[in-house]
Amino acid sequence: MGKMSEFVKMKEKLIFIHIPKTAGSTFHVMLNARYPQSGIQNLFGSRYSEPEIAGFMSKPNEQKENICLLKGHMPYGMHRHLPGDSRYITVLRSPVERVISQYYYIKKNAHNPLHKQVHGGGMTIADFVSSGISVGMNNGQCRFLNGDLDEYAFNACNEALFENVKKHIEDKFIWVGLTERFDESVLLLAKLLEWERSPHYIRENISKIRKTTSEISESDIAAIKAYNQLDIKLYEYANQLMDKQIAEIPDFDIQLNTFKKKNHQIQQRWSWLPSSLKRFVI
């Protein structure tokens, strides 16, 4: 990642890696409002071998020429299968918050393949994380930004993985957003990509059943941290990158305050709209 001035002239295709439980659903709606629908390709899978990912990789380039935005749950590496130049964006979340959110999502969703094991089996968060039934709970954010989710076996991630992810970010990412700094992230991306319309959003997929972090036991928190040491380092690194990029923008704090006020008004007025219509007001 370089200075903002290096990116404003770029017209590359954009790839959004939506890491699960990082406020990506909100971001999808916002992106849909800013790119032509004919140029958007959604892609979902976390391994190169999964049918949707494998199918995309095997398509001839002439069938992918018109894509200007590729987005969804996908491993790093799709730029190799997209004609022309492309850059990545993604959103990271505090690893502790992300794991807690995923745990409660599985508990409430009876259609999730892990629901019976987690909810029916009475698993605690520590049980869930340490069991290995979801490899994405073990440095999952690093795994997505490295490549195939299963490249490293459960609890076998090492420093080489983290360094590889840092290199990917430095070489191929325009921007790494942060769930906990969402307003700053959105405004920064708008500057980097020179969006003509001011970016705004309406929150999507907010869980109503999960406990707050302060309600989670110390043993559960400790287990999350133990299995996500590299994700914790990645999150700290991303915060540092954002600070550097924001520092280059004059009067960013003033613009951020204006953005927050406007977005609060939109949230209050239009949050009742179905997702299919929200793109017309943001």
Kindly state the tokens that stand for 44: 């979902």
Distance CA 166, CA 146 (A): 9
Average pLDDT, integer, range 221-250: 98
Distance CA 124, CA 107 (A): 11
In 3-state terms the chain splits into helix, strand, coil percentages (rounded to 5) of 55, 10, 40
The confidence score (pLDDT) of residue 78 equals 97
Average pLDDT, integer, range 39-64: 96
- Among the ranges given (10-14, 106-110, 129-133, 239-243), the one the predictor scored with the smallest mean pLDDT: 10-14
Q: Under a CB-based contact definition with an 8 Å cutoff, are residues 25 and 205 in contact? A: yes
The confidence score (pLDDT) of residue 204 equals 63
Residue 278 has pLDDT above 60, yes or no: no
24: how many CB neighbours lie within 10 A of its CB?
23
The confidence score (pLDDT) of residue 3 equals 43
The confidence score (pLDDT) of residue 127 equals 97
The confidence score (pLDDT) of residue 30 equals 86
Closest CA to 159 of 83, 229, 249, 250: 229
Number of domains, the chain: 1
Q: Under a CB-based contact definition with an 8 Å cutoff, are residues 188 and 86 in contact? A: no
The confidence score (pLDDT) of residue 2 equals 47
Cα dihedral 16, 19, 24, 29 sign = positive
Residue 220 belongs to domain spanning: 4-278
12: how many CB neighbours lie within 10 A of its CB?
16
The confidence score (pLDDT) of residue 5 equals 36
The confidence score (pLDDT) of residue 211 equals 74
Average pLDDT, integer, range 70-78: 97
Q: Under a CB-based contact definition with an 8 Å cutoff, are residues 99 and 125 in contact? A: yes
The confidence score (pLDDT) of residue 205 equals 56
> Considering the chain, what is the average pLDDT of its residues?
89
SS3 219: helix
Q: What is the DSSP letter of 175?
A: E
Please state the separation of Cα 174 from the chain's center in Å. Answer: 14
CB neighbour burial string for 33-67, b if at least 16 within 10 angstroms, e if fewer: bbeeeeebbebebbebebeebeebeeeeeeebeeb
**Torsion (CA) 223, 49, 165, 100 in degrees, nearest 10:** -30
Distance CA 225, CA 43 (A): 30
- Among the ranges given (49-53, 175-179, 212-216, 239-243), the one the predictor scored with the smallest mean pLDDT: 212-216
SS3 99: helix
DSSP states of 189-205: HHHHHT-SSPP-----S
Q: How confident is the model at residue 70 (pLDDT cuts 50, 70, 90)?
A: very high
Closest CA to 141 of 168, 170, 104, 114: 168
Which CATH number covers residue 148? 3.40.50.300
